[in-house]
Structure 1
Amino acid sequence: METNPEQLQAVQAILNHTSLPYPFILFGPPGTGKTFTLVEAVTQLVLLDTEDVHVLICGPSNSSCDVIAKRLIERIPKEMVRGSVHRLYASSRQRREVDDELIPFSNMDDDGQVSFESRESLMDYQVIICTLITAGRLAQAVFPEGHFTHLIIDEVSQATEPDAVVALNAVRKRKGYREPHVILAGDPRQLGPVVFSPLAETNLGTSLLERLMARPPYVRDVDQPEHYNPSYIVKLKKNFRSHPALLETPNKLFYDSELEACADRREVDAFIGHPILKNPKIPLVFHGVQGRDQKEGRSPSYFNPEEATLLVTKYVDQILQSKSPKVKPHEIGIITPYRGQVYKISKLLEKHGISGITVGTPEEFQGQERKVIMMSTVRSTQEFLQVDRRFNLGFLRNPKRFNVAITRARALMIVVGCPQILATDPNWHALVSFAYTRGCYEGCELPPEVLEATAPNAPSEPRGLDELLKILREMNLNPTVAENLASERPLMASREE
């Protein structure tokens, strides 16, 4: 952490309560160590003040709570962790869904029976971890005034505001007692709350994190627009997940090009030079396919058999047969925005005798990562785009879903889709253009808007003739034509004048 100034800054702000009476926001883009930072801050709180500190940690899902619970159990010294950390489950939680290592630190026994301790017993724990909804039981228990000194809500950008208020109510300030320190952690650029009602989407679709970050004191400094006020908000910037080339597009589109690629190069360079790549130096493949998006009966979900077949028979098979690097099925993830395509790909994998590969929607992959990520975008017909907008389906016109999908890969990303449709969305246009200009594209013909905006195998900025000459020589190609053209530049300039 000493070499990561943003993480250190965040921990210090939490320990010193710099944001009070306002909540402190930890802005954690993909792969930047948000959970690690929270765990370190809680560990320091426990070590620094073993009697007066009582922390409630909440998340919108059991999986997010389990992740932080496991990290805390590993981080807090063994002689202190038993009796200080308690994972509180709802009675609906199933034993098969809970890791064995969490059972001794929870209210669930080995047989899966859930029991709730008395308020007095719960008060002995320094750290209680539960979902936002389960925190309602703590609010009903009416703990003594000022008992909880800290509330941490992880992945708060995925929770609706009413859900967040449940946890806030559990630690509400009472007159005459110090303000509990609220820490909100998440990424407003990734998927927000899941709201099924179009009428409710207008208000409930905006998370508490998004709403606060649009207001003082969390907005960027007017005099220094590249900076947040670190007393109230810290943005983590070191990405420990992805290859620099895979990080480039989301970094520019969503994070003001502030993220630094800091992943272990031995891991993220695993596919450099692999025959599956079009450009041996960039671990990205974009395969253009003009398939057919179909649906069965009255189902609102679509599938694309051409894309499913290409992914499984060409790319999955080739990667699993690779000798260097050797990739296991559980290291591969396949993301697609439609449940119909999830089903088709899963069945196709089963038919080929392949198991262990996770196939799911972007929502199911948020918070996860894989060595290899493949994507099937499905949509190939313009007329269905209106359906997607109406029901909030697909990748198009949904930048948060797009952002989650393209930030899961560590060492290789393969995208299969129809560029003619995808290029109508500005974010997908940027990715298609990046793949094309970096020599990572193959498949069907690109749409005119991509070809016009970019030169074949060229960067987004036009190259000068001198640079082109240098490239031709490096490729051992005859640069005579280009050199002749270069020699004409003064004459051409004088004619234009």
Structure 2
Amino acid sequence: MSESKKPANPIREADRLKIINSAPKPIAEVALRLLERIENHRRNEIGNAIKYPASINAKIIDEVINFTDEDTVTIRSETELDSSDFNKGVYIYLHDSRDYFVQKNYLLCSVTHLQPYEFIARIIKQRSKPNWLDYLKHLKTSRVTVRFGVHHAPINVFDGSVDAVKHVLSEPDLFEKLVYSEPTTLKLTNMPDFLGYKHIELPQSIYDNVPTFFPEQKSAINALTRQTSDTFVLAGAPGTGKTFVLVEAALRLILAGARVLFISTYYKSADAVSREFVKRGLTDRNLLFRALGSNRDASDLSADCMKFSETIKMPPITNGFTIDNCSIVITTFCLLFKTCLINNAQPFTHVFIDDAQHVCEISIWDALHQFGHKNVRFVLCGNPYSDYLDSIMELEMVPTPLFRIASDSSYNTNPNLMITLTENHRSHKAIVDILARLCYEDNLKTADTDKHNALCNWEYLPNPDFPVLFHNVDGKVKKGINQAEADVVIKYLTSLRHIVSDDDIRLSCDTEQKALIRTHFKPEVDRMSNLFEASYPRVYLVSRVHNKNWRVSDDEDGYALNASGEEDEDKSSGNISENEIPKVKPFFDFNPNTLNFILSRTRELVIVVGHAETWERKPAWKQFIDYCRENNSYIE
């Protein structure tokens, strides 16, 4: 039997050697992996476009260019347009009929108006095509191919990603920020002078609302505010005060003349940063700016947050919209390019990347491309244990930059380059103890505080002062609903709602189960309701409808259940061959990262309702259930 041929390497050998010789080995290897993945993805997408051709020949007959987000072109087709697969809203690519689509020359548009032989399309600006207007003029002089039926998003980012990698590789001052190097000489002062970007005066409320910082948090703030451009890692489990520390460091830095850019993966993380500044009393739009996406529903933002928040429209430059006067800017990776466009003058001295455990390599390289310079300091803030927990599950994954750098002994043993926060200030001691045991190798401890004890005397807790409960229920599963579990959850929620607000409760269930429980309390709610969806709840209640028929298979690759997904006495009793048992992919409930998510977000009370025999088939959940048994907080 002949060996299958390996796919051809997407990077030419000459380019590969050039990359290897242009940067240290660790960075060159990362760059090669990134470029290979980008090029393979590009080939797949372009290959689909060629394999399943969907194109027409046409001519551009008019355009309306006002340098706004509504610039359009009018195109006349040589053949009648089929509205079944070419309709309003479809993304199209315009390119010279004499060129191959695999080349970089194309113009991305979105159809807005459609007639049998003519349509109008809105031009979508791309960071990799600043000269789009010149290319449009070229297209007007030639026959145009309109290609559609290709997913726009992957192709849209190819060129920008390649440009980011090549730019960072060409600048040693940038790629050195991705690897360990000897730290620069530090001026041991908490108030360094960052070339005096501008003199600012903070409102008195900043000084009136100074919180109390614990010793390890003080050490982190001191390290963050030293005058150096070395990359810094602020690591720690959720609830240890990382965002709290970053905000304080940013306030101290801007007093010394710095400019700080916060970049978050998710808009909710950016919301949390914004709320922290509001708590400290800073809402001045002349000092602080929060970027919002054009599709963001800002109804959940407070009036104080909206004082310094604004939607960025494209292109923002032509409207005179700028953030040059702002000392602190909060944005997300999705808005990175737009944020770069409205920052025209002074560069940022510090870039704080929050939730860095969710940030992939190419995103870091892109941030360096947009905002990197010799004197900028990048700070990666996040939970490197998140990658570790994924690795336990043997998931196919590429380590994040945070995990890669934090795993370097040169970094994690040097307090000038990395500090790990180990005190949890968010949760009750009983929650923190099991979280530390399961997910953090006991490298997590609780702060000495009594502020999380309010629910310790809840009527259904078997062990007062121990707010972690497992209730064993073995009910039948019918169409995604375990009525026995639902009854227990409803009983608990009925009791809790007398002492806890709905906004402080999070309910984690399968879709049908959650809908059943929600409508018991509010019949008018729909599937999109936010009822029992608190981000950092006082009470976290989990019910996953499993029973003995959802059985972990011997090879741990899946679960076994009967064909209907409901109870089957013959199969549940084992009177069936292994080949007859259907396999399904593991539910996320058994992933250690899920336990980490549940426990690290809960402040006062964790309740899990489920079938113990099923859940105990995974080691992490067995330890959790045993922990409840040991502390007399297990209900049979």
- Tell me, yes or no, if the aligned pair for 1:370 and 1:409 is still in contact at 8 Å: yes
Distance 1:308 1:405, change over 3 A: same
Number of the residue aligned with 2:223: 13
- 1:188-207 equivalences in 2 (<5 Å): 188-190=384-386, 202-203=396-397, 206-207=399-400
Number of the residue aligned with 2:434: 249
Distance 2:218 2:500 in 1: 35
For structure 1, the 5+ residue unaligned runs are 195-200, 220-227, 296-301, 444-497
For residue 92 of structure 1, the aligned residue among 292, 295, 309 is 295
What is the deviation of 1:208? 2.5
Q: Does 1:212 align with 2:408?
A: no
AA aligned to 1:371 is R
For structure 2, the 5+ residue unaligned runs are 1-210, 560-582
Number of the residue aligned with 1:469: none
What is the deviation of 1:142? 8.1
Q: Does 1:136 align with 2:337?
A: yes
Number of the residue aligned with 1:470: none
**Alignment length (residue pairs):** 395
Number of the residue aligned with 2:35: none
Distance 2:552 2:441 in 1: 32
Number of the residue aligned with 1:371: 538
AA aligned to 1:87 is R
Q: Does 1:319 align with 2:496?
A: yes
What's the TM-score, normalizing by structure 2?
0.56
What is the deviation of 1:101? 2.0
**CA RMSD for the aligned pairs?**
3.4
> Matched residue of 1:395: which SS?
helix
The structure 1 segments of at least 4 consecutive aligned residues displaced by more than 6 Å after TM superposition are 191-194, 352-357
- Tell me, yes or no, if the aligned pair for 1:335 and 1:405 is still in contact at 8 Å: no
Distance 1:311 1:184, change over 3 A: same
Note the alpha carbon deviations across 1:150-199, whole angstroms, 9 max, x for none: 111111212333334332322122xxxx33100111113348999xxxxx
Q: Does 1:70 align with 2:275?
A: yes
What is the deviation of 1:70? 2.9
Number of the residue aligned with 2:354: 154
AA aligned to 1:26 is L
What is the deviation of 1:138? 3.7
- 1:296-445 equivalences in 2 (<5 Å): 302-312=480-490, 314-321=491-498, 326-336=499-509, 338-351=510-523, 358-359=531-532, 368-380=535-547, 381-383=549-551, 386-387=557-558, 391=585, 393-396=587-590, 398-443=591-636
AA aligned to 1:125 is C
The structure with higher relative contact order (CA 8 Å, sep 6+) is 1
Structure with bigger gyration radius: 2
Distance 1:156 1:319, change over 3 A: same
What is the deviation of 1:229? 2.5
Distance 2:297 2:401 in 1: 30
- Tell me, yes or no, if the aligned pair for 2:551 and 2:614 is still in contact at 8 Å: no
- Tell me, yes or no, if the aligned pair for 1:2 and 1:8 is still in contact at 8 Å: no
What is the deviation of 1:352? 10
AA aligned to 1:409 is T
Identify, as 1 or 2, the structure richer in strand.
2
What is the deviation of 1:88? 1.6
Distance 1:114 1:330, change over 3 A: farther
- Tell me, yes or no, if the aligned pair for 1:291 and 1:304 is still in contact at 8 Å: yes
For residue 476 of structure 2, the aligned residue among 264, 286, 292 is 292
Distance 2:243 2:273 in 1: 7
AA aligned to 1:12 is N
Distance 1:332 1:354 in 2: 17
Distance 1:304 1:237, change over 3 A: same
What's the TM-score, normalizing by structure 1?
0.70
Distance 1:3 1:83, change over 3 A: closer
Distance 1:318 1:425, change over 3 A: same
- Tell me, yes or no, if the aligned pair for 1:156 and 1:164 is still in contact at 8 Å: no
Identify, as 1 or 2, the structure richer in helix.
1
Distance 1:387 1:272, change over 3 A: same
Distance 2:458 2:342 in 1: 59
Number of the residue aligned with 1:35: 243
Note the alpha carbon deviations across 1:208-246, whole angstroms, 9 max, x for none: 222322234334xxxxxxxx4211211112211222112
AA aligned to 2:500 is V
- 1:178-189 equivalences in 2 (<5 Å): 178-189=374-385
- Tell me, yes or no, if the aligned pair for 2:389 and 2:439 is still in contact at 8 Å: no
